[in-house]
């Protein structure tokens, strides 16, 4: 049973370009979360999605950032017109989220974005 998969593992972009980060949840998981980790800091929640729905985007910057989790295919975190401050590790997590149970989130290996 493969774990959470993220690609690419490393991504280099120049200022002003677009970055697309992909996340495939564990088999049977329909809930995806994105977190960002700036250098030497802890992880910060960005967005929580279920299939075709954004449930909580309270941690997403208001501009340039968007996320989706289509019915088919991986979840995508998209950053438009990247700036140097977007350089970070972006982690995706998934869970089955069975109601009335405290479910753990399983994390992927992360995508390290470097903006030149």
Among 45, 54, 66, 114, binds other proteins (CB under 8 A): 45
- Rule CB under 8 A: say whether 4 interacts with other proteins: yes
Among 11, 21, 25, 31, binds other proteins (CB under 8 A): 31
- Rule CB under 8 A: say whether 43 interacts with other proteins: yes
- Rule CB under 8 A: say whether 2 interacts with other proteins: no
Who's near 46: CB < 8 A, 6+ residues apart? Answer: 33, 34, 35, 36, 57, 59, 60, 65, 67, 77
Tokens 């950032």 belong to: 65
Distance CA 54, CA 79 (A): 16
- Rule CB under 8 A: say whether 48 interacts with other proteins: yes
Query: Considering only CA atoms, which of 35, 11, 23 is closest in space to residue 115?
Result: 11
Stretch that binds other proteins, among 13-21, 33-41, 60-68, 72-80 (CB under 8 A): 33-41
| Burial class of residue 69 in the structure, from the number of CB atoms within 10 Å of its CB (0-12 exposed, 13-18 middle, 19+ buried) | buried
Residues of this chain that bind other proteins (CB under 8 A):
4, 31, 33, 35, 41-45, 48, 55-56, 58-59, 89, 91, 93, 95, 97, 99-102, 104-110, 112
């Amino acid at each position: 049973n493969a774990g959470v998969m993220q690609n690419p593992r490393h991504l280099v972009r120049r200022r002003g370009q677009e970055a697309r980060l992909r996340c495939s949840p564990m088999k049977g998981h329909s809930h995806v979360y994105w977190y960002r980790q700036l250098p030497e800091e802890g992880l910060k929640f960005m967005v929580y999605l279920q299939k075709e729905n954004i449930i909580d985007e309270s941690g997403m910057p208001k501009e340039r950032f968007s996320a989706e989790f289509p019915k088919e295919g991986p979840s995508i975190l998209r950053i438009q017109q990247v700036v140097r401050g977007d350089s970070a590790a972006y982690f995706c997590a998934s869970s089955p989220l069975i109601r009335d149970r405290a479910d753990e989130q399983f994390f992927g290996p992360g995508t390290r974005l470097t903006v030149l």
